[in-house]
């Protein structure tokens, strides 16, 4: 185990970590809800295509929808039950999206039958990629990018370094922390698949220094066959250390160029919970039915790290854990990068690593009053990729989205929220950038 005390990225911020309430709580299974709502698109790319009919009975783990092309992943039944409806349902984005309403059978065994596994010894790189797509695996750290797409190394490129991202720098969340403590065998099996697939010479498991038990546990459990290539790397605590580009810089010293992908500097980054799912599911040929989610925040009574079925509505989760009477705002994820939800009818999806709820007492109902920019440049000093959020904010106010993208690298912004966090004028910079990026994408597509 190595302490990467000096190697870190420039800028960044130090929000309160707020992880102590759940970091020591073991993962527990969450009750099954009476109804599941399963969006067909829980990932970046094309929605999956249903292969079941309304009224059909399905068993847990059965394929519900197949990928629509390479930029898409499969969807599996989170529980045995009956398909009640296939139609529109609310989503975290506020839009109605197509999905499957599934009513679980309360008395069913809910056992998941094994499928055709991917044999680690004999499988080719393409077979491992196909297995990951068939298992419906996406980035579980929140990005929900189809993992098999990220792992397809482009012609002429080479992966030198595989980075397993166990940083979990988002305040409040302890999902990855608990997975590292409780699923080390799955993580190491996932690394074996990933090393074989990428042919990387070196693998780092990057962990922030605020999780010393997880780092020590993985170091102690590191299997003999991985010891030559795999290194547990402990990094300084700084937000957003867990962002891909920041992590690559901290561990390899390389900077991913503006608009570029990690593979351009010979790196591939995979979230640690995603790695554990690869290691858990591929050998037995199963798909994702559930995931570990931290349910926390000042408004939550029974905080914890829970294994929750995909498609479980937020309302059911909050009813089960109990909430304070003055609950005011709920985030899908943590408060820095997670979107605030507008409806508790939306379900948790594969990319949901946390549910964080705040009360009125933390000022959760209304955003603080916004003042004009005072040109203090705190936001410039905070931005980890050296953008000028102050300038971008002024352009956003005037609707000059094209200028933001063409002259000020708007599309490099990965919405970490560091600029908003430090702004003394409470300007919701990151919200402006989300809107601007969406407008630029829409204009490009039309």
Distance of closest approach, residue 414 Cβ to ligand SF4, in angstroms:
5
What is the rounded distance in angstroms from the CA atom of residue 403 to the CA atom of residue 380? 18
Sheet architecture: strand order including 290-296: 28-29, 304-309, 290-296, 354-359, 327-332
Helix (H/G/I), strand (E/B), else coil: 320: helix
The tokens for 99 are: 């999905």
3-state secondary structure of 410: helix
- Phi-psi category of 179—alpha, beta or left, where left has phi over 0 and alpha has psi -120 to 50? alpha
State how far the Cα of 108 lies from the Cα of 111, in Å rounded to an integer: 8
Considering beta carbons, is residue 136 or 417 the nearer one to ligand SF4? 417
Rank residues 109 and 398 by Cβ distance to ligand SF4 and give the closer one.
Answer: 398
Shortest distance in whole angstroms from residue 243 CB to ligand SF4: 8
Half-sphere exposure of 146 (CA within 13 A, CB side): 26
**Residues 382, 373 contacting (CB under 8 angstroms):** no
Residue positions counted in the chain: 446
For residue 13 the two structure tokens come to: 């911020």
Q: For binding to ligand SF4 (CB under 6 A), which residues are involved?
A: 373-379, 382-383, 385, 387, 389-390, 393, 413-419, 422-425, 427, 429-430, 433
104 touches 34 (CB < 8 A): yes
Considering beta carbons, is residue 277 or 415 the nearer one to ligand SF4?
415
CB nearer ligand SF4, residue 256 or residue 357: 256
Of 240 and 347, nearer to ligand SF4 (C-beta) is: 240
Q: Taking CA 335 as the corner, what is the angle to CA 330 and CA 339, rounded to the nearest 5 degrees? A: 60
Count other C-beta atoms under 10 Å from residue 425's C-beta: 18
Helix, coil or strand: residue 246:
helix
Handedness of CA 215, 219, 222, 225 (dihedral sign): positive
The SS3 call for residue 432 is helix
**Cα dihedral 268/269/274/277 (nearest 10):** 40
3-state DSSP assignment of residue 368: coil
CB of 342 to ligand SF4, least distance (A): 21
Please, which residue, 135 or 404, has the CB nearer to ligand SF4? 404
344 Ramachandran zone, left/alpha/beta (phi>0; psi -120 to 50): alpha
Q: Choose between 8 and 390: whose C-beta lies nearer to ligand SF4.
A: 390
Closer of 315 and 408 to ligand SF4 (Cβ): 408
C-beta of 1 vs 380, nearer to ligand SF4: 380
């Amino acid at each position: 185990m190595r302490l990467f005390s000096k190697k870190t990225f420039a800028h960044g911020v130090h929000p309160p970590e707020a992880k102590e309430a759940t970091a020591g709580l073991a993962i527990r299974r969450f009750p099954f809800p009476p109804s599941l709502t399963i969006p067909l698109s829980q990932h970046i790319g094309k929605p999956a295509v249903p292969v079941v009919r309304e009224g059909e009975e399905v068993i847990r783990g059965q394929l519900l929808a197949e990928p629509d092309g390479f930029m898409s992943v499969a969807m599996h039944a989170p529980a045995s039950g009956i398909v009640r409806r296939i139609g529109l349902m609310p989503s975290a984005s506020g839009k109605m999206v197509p999905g499957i309403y599934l009513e679980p059978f309360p008395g069913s065994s809910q056992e998941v039958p094994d499928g055709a596994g991917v044999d680690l010894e004999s499988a080719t790189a393409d077979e491992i990629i196909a297995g990951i797509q068939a298992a419906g695996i996406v980035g579980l750290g929140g990005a929900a990018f189809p993992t098999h797409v990220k792992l397809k190394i482009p012609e002429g490129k080479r992966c030198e370094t595989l980075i397993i991202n166990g940083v979990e720098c988002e305040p409040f969340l302890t999902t990855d922390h608990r997975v590292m403590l409780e699923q080390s065998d799955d993580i190491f099996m996932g690394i074996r698949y990933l090393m074989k697939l990428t042919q990387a010479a070196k693998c780092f498991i990057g962990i922030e220094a605020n999780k010393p038990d997880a780092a020590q546990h993985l170091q102690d459990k590191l299997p003999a066959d991985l010891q030559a290539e795999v290194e547990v790397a402990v990094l300084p605590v700084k937000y957003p250390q867990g962002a891909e580009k920041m992590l690559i810089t901290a561990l390899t010293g390389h900077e991913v160029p503006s608009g570029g992908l990690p593979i351009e500097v010979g790196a591939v980054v995979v979230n640690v919970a995603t790695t554990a799912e690869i290691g858990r599911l591929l050998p037995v040929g199963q798909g994702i039915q559930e995931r570990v989610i931290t349910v926390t925040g000042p408004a939550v009574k029974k905080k914890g790290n829970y294994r929750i079925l995909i498609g479980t509505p937020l309302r059911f989760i909050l009813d089960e854990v109990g909430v304070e009477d003055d609950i005011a705002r709920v985030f899908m994820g943590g408060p820095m990068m997670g979107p605030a939800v507008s409806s508790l009818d939306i379900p948790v999806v594969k990319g949901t690593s946390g549910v964080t709820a705040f009360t009125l007492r933390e000022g959760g109902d209304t955003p603080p009053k916004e003042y004009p920019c005072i040109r203090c440049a705190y936001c410039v000093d905070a931005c980890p990729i050296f953008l000028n959020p102050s300038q971008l904010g002024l352009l956003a106010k005037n609707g000059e989205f094209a200028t933001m993208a063409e002259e000020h690298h708007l599309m490099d912004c990965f919405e970490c929220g560091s600029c908003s966090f430090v702004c003394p004028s409470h300007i919701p910079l990151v919200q402006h950038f989300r809107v601007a990026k969406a407008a630029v994408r829409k204009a490009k597509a039309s």
